[in-house]
A and B are shown apart, each in its own frame.
Chain A
Amino acid sequence: MKKSVFLGTLAATTMLAGIAAAQDGSTLAAIKARGELICGTNTGLTGFGAPDANGNYQGFDVALCKAVAAAVLGDATKVKYVPTTGETRFTALASGEVDLLVRNSTWTYSRDTSLAFDFVAVNYYDGQGFMVKKDLGVSSAKELDGATVCIQTGTTTELNLADYFKANNMTYTPVTVADDSEGQRQYLAGACDAYTTDASGLAASRATMADAENHIILPEIISKEPLGPVVRHGDNNWGDIVRWSFYSLLVAEEKGITAANIGEVATTSTDPEVKRLLGLEGDMGPMMGLDNEWAKRAIAASGNYGEIFEANIGSATPIGLARGLNALWTQGGLQYAPPVR
């Protein structure tokens, strides 16, 4: 501890301070000692990670932080949310400022390798889209030649945009904004013709606009954006905990375990996999340094994957996203958890 305080005063960059702090022991031990999970989240993307009217973080990504906290610490509320922008998020994670980053971050080759991160799972399969005002009279992204496009800096969308316009032999003027709220402001002020980011983010932004019906999301999806929780390289046990906390939510949906019926299922279920997952059979928890009831608590925190989806971004919410690619594999989607065995 002393070491990191000393370092903090001396270090020329926060990066130096952070790495040393993160080095002391495993992430799991550090979280248990601290009694709190530090989760990097969005500065504010409705439905995914944004403070509600009472200032409590809520959302699809935030629910995963809660599930991990419940699995590790036994209490879903023991999470400290650190809002990060597209630009600061990876530095925050690399420096050890956050234990876990769940912030609509796209899994790419270079982030996985040269940035030395592990994308432990994909909690939302997304793709980049465009939003334009209806009165612009554009119905396809291919008609955007010469347009001014607002784009968040430090994202994969920046590179996809350049590639897409080049591949279609079109030109554009980029307006580089720091975060989603600034992007929306510029787009609404008319400083750009189109706003581009992940289609889920566009839907979330559109839901918060006063005149949502005057904006349309163009049909083209120009990229693959697998979004998922990220941890640092090097602490594989911690990566396992986050991965399986997420998969336990998927398995729960598959097996029909919900936040409401989990107590009942735990007592009555005869399915061996459910019993293993809920810690009634076998010794699964200690294999990654947790107790046997970790998954039970993770699921009880905010329900299974499907419940979290519907509560935060599903078709009943203002954001109104369909499950689509994010349906379970049994229902034609891509969400597939390896067996708990």
Chain B
Amino acid sequence: MALATDAPKESFRLGMLIYDTRFRSITIQVIVLALFLAALSWLVNNTVQNLEAKGRSFDFGFLWQRAGYDIGQQLIPYTNDSSHGRAMFVGLINTIVLAFFGCIFATVLGVMVGVLRLSKNWLVGRLMTVYVEVFRNIPLLLWILLSYVILSETMPAPKDFRVTDEMTAAGELPAASMMLFDSVAITNRGLDMPAPLLTRSLGSVEVFGVPFNLSAIVFLLIVAAGLYANHVIRSRAQKIQEDTGIRPVTWWKSIAVIAGPALVFLLASGFYLEFPQLKGFNFTGGIQVAHSFTALLIALVLYTAAFIAEVVRAGILAISKGQSEAAFALGLRPNRTMSLIILPQALRVIIPPLISQYLNLTKNTSLGIAVSYLDLRGTLGGITLNQTGKELECMLLMMLIYLTISLIISSLMNVYNNSVQLKAR
């Protein structure tokens, strides 16, 4: 029986776009896309027209004009004579530094809390539950304000550190004193600590207006080389242990290759510490970490770590119980089981949601404006926007920068994610 014949050849009719299921979905998509593009172009056109009607131009020329304002925390050289573009860059670096340290500390704290929340110890487990629930259920802004107010209202003012002649004569002590052999001072403005300096520095090179300290780079390279040498020594020891069953003593070699060359370099460069000193209104010299930074970091870390703890807990619970039972049967202690068996497998579950926590933390740094931390939002989206009146340009540029930072973080984390995923062999 050859009943199957070719379908009757139907010529294409316009009605088929709606009534024929083969074409209908495409038709709908085309219509929606057209509507979306129309709305978008209307919006853009409207903006252009309105800007024209207001006599306002759309250009980014202001980025090259003199900024005229000062920024409290600047990690690259900046004065009020620098351009708005440079001010934006200073803010961007402040954002990135905060996000960088925030992600690291939040991960460490989050993993610890996540693991401890599963602890069999009733008290530890409950404490971690309370921590997680309290921190992730109260808005971040409140935590930022709270930690800032605590730091700035409870610490002594710089003038409390002052020792006058009359006080020494009367044998009185100042209201506050420095800690750690007079090297660290915590005031209501910030933390002052000694700065490492070199008498014979190698100078610095400038790349795109950002100075890189050559001595610091050389130092880091030496430490990296030391770590690599240590790795070689340890893997050789491992090999000897596997061959002979006896592990050679390596700890003194490790210390020598890591610390030795670095110390020699520091001594040769004339390393010394510059201690903060009370001069006039404030401590000068040394490194100053403003409380706005510390408060933001503390709040961001505590808040994000609560979320990361939940991600970690979920990852650990996703690993079958048989894995830990098998590890115990082999005689592994619980902490070794966790670090060698459970966590490496749990990483596959943990990393994707962890990426979004990193992105959240990075974007949340823009709340710094609440405590006078001049990040990208504070410089480009705050003062520059106000002084130049270029709302649209500043906002678009700022959104573009945050988008870029987020995409970079997520693509780096995706590379790492791919490396820990299960490989089909």
Q: Chain B's nearest CB lies how many Å from the CB of A145?
A: 6
Contacts known (A10-B39, A190-B157); A234 close to B189, Cβ less than 8 A: no
Q: Chain B's nearest CB lies how many Å from the CB of A168?
A: 14
B383 touches A114 (CB 8 A): no
Contacts known (A147-B280, A162-B70, A162-B80); A154 close to B382, Cβ less than 8 A: yes
Which residues from 140 to 162 on chain A have a C-beta closer than 8 Å to any C-beta of chain B? 144-148, 153-155, 158-159, 161-162
Chain A residues with CB under 8 A of B374: 176
Q: B136 near A: Cβ within 8 Å?
A: no
Q: B46 near A: Cβ within 8 Å?
A: yes
Which residues from 167 to 195 on chain B have a C-beta closer than 8 Å to any C-beta of chain A? 188-189
Q: A321 near B: Cβ within 8 Å?
A: no
B43 touches A12 (CB 8 A): yes
Contacts known (A148-B189, A166-B80); A20 close to B282, Cβ less than 8 A: no
Chain B: interface residue count, which band? Answer: 35 or more
A153 touches B80 (CB 8 A): no
Q: B69 near A: Cβ within 8 Å?
A: yes
Interface centre among A148, A178, A190, A192 (most CB of B within 10 A): A190
Question: Cα distance A146–B158 when bound, in Å?
Answer: 12
B188 touches A190 (CB 8 A): yes
Q: A35 near B: Cβ within 8 Å?
A: no
Question: Cα distance A158–B384 when bound, in Å?
Answer: 11
Interface centre among B68, B292, B374 (most CB of A within 10 A): B68
B50 touches A19 (CB 8 A): yes
Q: Chain A's nearest CB lies how many Å from the CB of B49?
A: 9
Q: A118 near B: Cβ within 8 Å?
A: no
Q: Do most interface residues of chain A lie in helix, strand or loop, or is the interface mixed?
A: mixed
Chain B residues with CB under 8 A of A114: 56, 388-389
A189 touches B153 (CB 8 A): yes
Q: B414 near A: Cβ within 8 Å?
A: no
Question: Cα distance A25–B53 when bound, in Å?
Answer: 13
A189 touches B188 (CB 8 A): yes
Contacts known (A90-B386, A154-B386); A176 close to B378, Cβ less than 8 A: yes
Question: Cα distance A91–B395 when bound, in Å?
Answer: 12
A186 touches B55 (CB 8 A): no
A172 touches B391 (CB 8 A): no
Question: Cα distance A15–B391 when bound, in Å?
Answer: 8
Chain A residues with CB under 8 A of B322: none
Contacts known (A159-B387, A233-B54); A147 close to B281, Cβ less than 8 A: yes
Contact with A along B383-399 (1 / 0, CB 8 A): 10011110110010000
A172 touches B70 (CB 8 A): yes
Q: Chain B's nearest CB lies how many Å from the CB of A177?
A: 6
A158 touches B383 (CB 8 A): yes
B54 touches A234 (CB 8 A): yes
Question: Cα distance A234–B80 when bound, in Å?
Answer: 33
CB-nearest residue of chain B to A91:
B391
Q: Chain B's nearest CB lies how many Å from the CB of A15?
A: 6
Chain A residues with CB under 8 A of B56: 114, 116
Q: B8 near A: Cβ within 8 Å?
A: no
Contacts known (A153-B386, A190-B157); A19 close to B279, Cβ less than 8 A: no
Which residues from 110 to 125 on chain A have a C-beta closer than 8 Å to any C-beta of chain B? 110-111, 114-116
Q: B109 near A: Cβ within 8 Å?
A: no
B54 touches A116 (CB 8 A): yes
Question: Cα distance A177–B152 when bound, in Å?
Answer: 14
Q: A7 near B: Cβ within 8 Å?
A: yes
CB-nearest residue of chain A to B55:
A116
Contact of B68 among A159, A172, A173, A192 (CB under 8 A): A159
Question: Cα distance A116–B68 when bound, in Å?
Answer: 21
Q: Chain A's nearest CB lies how many Å from the CB of B259?
A: 37
Contact of A176 among B157, B189, B372 (CB under 8 A): B372
Chain B residues with CB under 8 A of A87: 382, 386
Contact with A along B99-132 (1 / 0, CB 8 A): 0000000000000000000000000000000000
B281 touches A148 (CB 8 A): yes
Q: B421 near A: Cβ within 8 Å?
A: no
Question: Cα distance A295–B193 when bound, in Å?
Answer: 64
Contact of A193 among B279, B281, B284, B387 (CB under 8 A): B281
Q: Chain B's nearest CB lies how many Å from the CB of A216?
A: 16
B387 touches A13 (CB 8 A): no
Q: A266 near B: Cβ within 8 Å?
A: no
Chain B residues with CB under 8 A of A94: 54, 389, 391
B391 touches A11 (CB 8 A): no
CB-nearest residue of chain A to B288:
A173
Question: Cα distance A154–B383 when bound, in Å?
Answer: 5
Chain B residues with CB under 8 A of A155: 386
A176 touches B72 (CB 8 A): yes
Q: A23 near B: Cβ within 8 Å?
A: yes
B72 touches A175 (CB 8 A): yes
Q: B369 near A: Cβ within 8 Å?
A: yes
Question: Cα distance A90–B159 when bound, in Å?
Answer: 39
Q: B71 near A: Cβ within 8 Å?
A: yes
A174 touches B71 (CB 8 A): yes
A16 touches B50 (CB 8 A): yes
Q: B47 near A: Cβ within 8 Å?
A: yes
Which residues from 57 to 93 on chain A have a C-beta closer than 8 Å to any C-beta of chain B? 86-87, 90-91
Contact with B along A223-261 (1 / 0, CB 8 A): 000000000111000000000000000000000000000
Contact with A along B355-395 (1 / 0, CB 8 A): 00000000000000110101000100011001111011001
B50 touches A110 (CB 8 A): no
B43 touches A174 (CB 8 A): no
Chain A residues with CB under 8 A of B280: 145-147
Contacts known (A116-B54, A116-B55, A176-B72); A16 close to B46, Cβ less than 8 A: yes
Q: Chain B's nearest CB lies how many Å from the CB of A86?
A: 8
Chain A residues with CB under 8 A of B382: 87, 153-154, 176
Given A10-B39, A94-B389: 17 more A-B contacts, CB < 8 Å? A15-B391, A16-B46, A16-B47, A20-B50, A91-B391, A110-B389, A116-B54, A146-B284, A147-B281, A148-B189, A162-B69, A163-B80, A175-B72, A178-B370, A189-B188, A193-B282, A233-B55
3 pairs of A and B residues whose beta carbons are closest in the complex: A154-B386, A162-B80, A146-B280
6 contacts between A and B (CB under 8 A): A13-B395, A111-B389, A146-B282, A154-B387, A175-B72, A234-B53
